[in-house]
Structure formats: C-alpha cells, structure tokens
Amino acid sequence: MEENVKILVVSDDELIHNEVVNAIPEPNKVQIVEPKDVAREIHRDVCDVLIYIQPIAEDAVESIQYIKAISPDTLVIFVAKNTDFLLLRNITKAGVTEFFIYPDEISLLINRLPSMIKAYEVKKNKKEDTVSYLSKGRGQIMSVFSGNGGTGKSVLASSLAQTLKLESTAEVLLIDLNLQFGGMETLLSIESNRSLADLMPVMEELNENHIRNVSQRLESSKLEILLSPCDAEVAESITDAFIAKLLRTSRRSFDFVIVDLPSYLNSNVVTTLEESDRIFYVLTPDTPSLHVLKQFEETALRLGIELKSRTSILFNKASKENEIQEKDMKELLRFPIISSVRWDHKGLQPYVNKGEPVRKEEKEKRLTPFAKDVRKWSLSLLK
Ligand SMILES: Nc1ncnc2c1ncn2[C@@H]1O[C@H](COP(=O)(O)OP(=O)(O)OP(=O)(O)O)[C@@H](O)[C@H]1O
Ligand SMILES: [Mg+2]
C-alpha cells in the first residue's frame, strides 16, 4: 500500500502555521508541535516533511541539526521571520532544503508546498510512472519555434507543458509569446484579462510572486500559464529587455519554462531564442518547410544566434503518405531530430476545437497518437 507523507509543523505562531497547514493537500497527515517538543516527536514517529517556523526562544539551528542527525531523510523547510543572512546561512548548513521569508514569501511557500510534498511522496513510494524531478538550481527554457505558420508550435508547446507537469514532479510554466494574437487562451479555454503584459510595471523588481499572481493555472494538470496580451498596441510596447527579465526570473522558480513563439523573427523572438537552453524547431515533411528552415539558419547566423548546441528538430505531422519521410530529411538537416509526432487529425482536432487540454490526468486511460508521441518527446527531456 502506498504511504502518505507525514508532515510535522514546528511552530509557536498560530497565525503562520494556520496559513501553512491550510496549504497542505489531503490526505497527508499533519501534526503541529511546539519547538520545545520537536526532539521528542522526531524520536516517537517518522517524519517525512518538517516545516519549521522560526521560533521566538528556541535555537532553530541547533534543533534542525538534531533533527537531521536523527532523521536524515526528512525534508526540512524553514519559515524565517526576517532576512537574517547569518541565520539563513546556518540553517542551510544544518540541512534545511528551502527557506521562505515571512510574510513576503509565504504565498510562494503555499504555492509550492503541494508539489514539494508530491515530489517527496514519489521518491518515497518509488512510483515508476511519475518521474521525480528534482530541481537542479536553475530551470530550463525550452522554446518551440518554426519559420512556417501552422506547423503545430502552439499545440506542441502546450501539450509538452501539460505532459511534463503531469508525468513528473517538475514545476512547469508555459508562456505564450504570440503577443499580438495570442492563441493559448483559445486552445485551453482560459478566460482571463490578465496577461504577461501586466508584469511590465514591476519589471525592475520582478519575482516569482508577481509571475504566479498573473499566471493562470490549468485545473486539470496544475500547469501555470502566462497568457499573451492579445493586443497589437500592447505588444508593441513589450521590449526585449522585459522578455529577458521575464525568462530569467521564470527559470529561477520553474524547472521548465516552455515558450510558444510566433513564426517570425523580431527582437523579442531573437531574445527568447538567445535565452533558451533548448530550441525545438518544428518541421513538417514538405519542401517549403525545409527552405524556410535553411533561411532561418542563415538569418540566425547573421544575427549571431548560436543554434548548433541547442537546436533540435521536432518532426510534426508525420505520416506514411508523405512523399518526404524522416529518413530523407535527416540527410538534409544540420540538427538532430529529437522526436517525431504523427499526423493525427482525428485524435487532435476535437481537443483543439473544444479548447480542451490534450492531457488532463497522470494516468490517461486512452492516449491519442498525438498525445502518445508528445509523451515520448517529453519523457526524453526528463532524463
Ligand atoms: N500532429 C498533428 N496532427 C494533426 N493536426 C495537427 C498536428 N499538429 C498540429 N496540427 C493542427 O495544425 C493546426 C495548427 O496548429 P498550431 O496552431 O499549433 O500551429 P502553430 O505553428 O502554432 O501556428 P501559428 O504559426 O499560427 O502560431 C491546428 O489545427 C492543429 O490542430
Ligand atoms: Mg501558434
């Protein structure tokens, strides 16, 4: 039987711990103890996740050292009441995995807590079908681009983001950089008047909190999405400096930042490509697409965008009926083909027309060929 995660909240501050406890999803067991009783509790029972709220009298550093000595696998999260760098350094040395400053970062903790617990649970139960993705410090920016319109960039970017979120414990953010006309709001039926343009006024001090306040969360996968302003005039006012800042801030808090791009180059798109760790160029099996790819390569060279180390080809709308097959393409390409997605009109169209996400559950009963191929691509990125 799978075990739930046992969570211990160490606190002498009811106001803070009430906020934290409310954010812990069912059916995890939560217990609250006073700082002076924590040593006894650690001996009494297993503790998977310990949330330590900075106490008034007790020595937190010593207490955490003790907890980690008795129970080294416990994940310790610290809530500090002020930015005391010496304390924060010492608690980190003592074995705290993450700390949050109260009150500024409490909403961050509340947002992240469910996925932190989930990641721990996956590790504990060694679930094989969910990849326990542990953050590696800085997240990866992955852009989906193509010089041709209608190749499938948006459906691919959105399905990739949903799949990564559902099949791993990674934090995923999807950004729609089709600034003029958008697209994600229709593809995923999101009604909202918030868009990434709302972050422009706070550009200088932009942080994760701002991003999560503006992003929309998909109910089914809990994927966070930053929508496009869908407004040509607003789009005009978005600068490449803002885009760079947005991407850099996003990668600090998300493991994967998936960017859906339009099919032309302007300074915002160039900046995104330059900031990207990986570029997936969507290629459909036809000669015009190949020509455009060559042109893109030449332009990138002139603009000084380094492609070789980070670009791979995502072959989309593949079908046996195509005159040009993957193997014919291979010889003409300078980049590796990372994955191939089948032409799946029957499977994909109903989702696109209804504005429904392609992936909604971790263990989907029946995956369409399109979703299956995207899954294969996604899992290759989690390795
Ligand atoms: N593998 C596939 N099989 C069948 N249809 C597909 C496939 N991939 C994409 N499509 C269809 O192609 C159309 C265009 O897709 P999408 O809007 O994602 O392309 P795009 O590259 O983002 O376009 P744009 O350049 O306008 O932003 C959609 O109707 C989508 O359903
Ligand atoms: Mg698109």
Sequence spans of domains, the chain? 6-125, 140-382
What's the pLDDT score for residue 379? 95
Q: Would you say residue 240 has pLDDT above 80?
A: yes
Q: Give the CATH class of 6-125.
A: alpha beta
Q: Whose atoms come closest to the Cα of 264: which ligand?
A: 1
Going by CA atoms, what residue is nearest to atom 27 of ligand 1? 262
Q: Whose atoms come closest to the Cα of 263: which ligand?
A: 1
CB atoms within 10 A of CB 158: 28
- Mean pLDDT, rounded, of the chain: 92
CATH architecture of 140-382: 3-Layer(aba) Sandwich (3.40)
Mutate to test the pocket of ligand 1, among 143, 151, 185, 289 (most ligand atoms within 8 A of CB): 151
What is the distance in A from the centroid of ligand 1 to the CA of 316?
9
Q: How much is the average pLDDT of 11-17?
A: 94
Q: Would you say residue 238 has pLDDT above 90?
A: yes
The pTM of this model reads 0.77
Going by CA atoms, what residue is nearest to atom 31 of ligand 1? 349
What digits encode the pLDDT tens for the residues 170-207?
999 999 999 999 999 999 999 999 999 999 999 999 99
Question: First CA to last CA across the chain, in angstroms?
Answer: 27
Least confident span in 137-146, 151-160, 281-290, 340-349: 137-146
- Cβ contact 31:9 at 8 Å: yes
- Cβ contact 238:269 at 8 Å: no
Q: How much is the average pLDDT of 285-303?
A: 94
The yes-or-no answer to whether 6-125 and 140-382 have a common fold is yes
